[in-house]
Amino acid sequence: MARVCMVTGKKPMVGNNVSHANNRTKRRFLPNLQNRKFWVESENRWVSMRITNNALRTIDKNGIDAVLAGMRADGQKI
């Protein structure tokens, strides 16, 4: 399963670990993904999503119906 947020589309980034001696080694910055289920009142069903904590804050602010409408407008199947 890809480490990608279903709402924001955030993916792992690539960067460097930097030691005190300024030696650099490659590393990955992973998104803070959480598996969450939301009750969608308008559809009378649960929706399971793999989202970042940032997307969870967006859902709290805008509501699950608005977020799902935006995802469907982008062409995602939910």
E-strand stretches of the chain:
13-18, 24-29, 33-40, 45-52
Dihedral (CA of 50, 54, 55, 57) sign: positive
**Opening angle at CA 30, ends 71 and 10, nearest 5:** 20
Q: What is the pTM of this model?
A: 0.86
Query: Is it true that domain 13-73 has CATH number 2.30.170.40?
Result: yes
- pLDDT above 90 (res 1): no
Check residue 70 and give its pLDDT: 96
Q: In terms of pLDDT, which residue wins out, 41 or 1?
A: 41
Q: What is the residue-averaged pLDDT of the chain?
A: 97
Report which DSSP code applies to 73. H
Q: Are 50 and 33 in contact (CB under 8 A)?
A: yes
Map out the domains of the chain as residue ranges.
13-73
- pLDDT above 90 (res 78): no
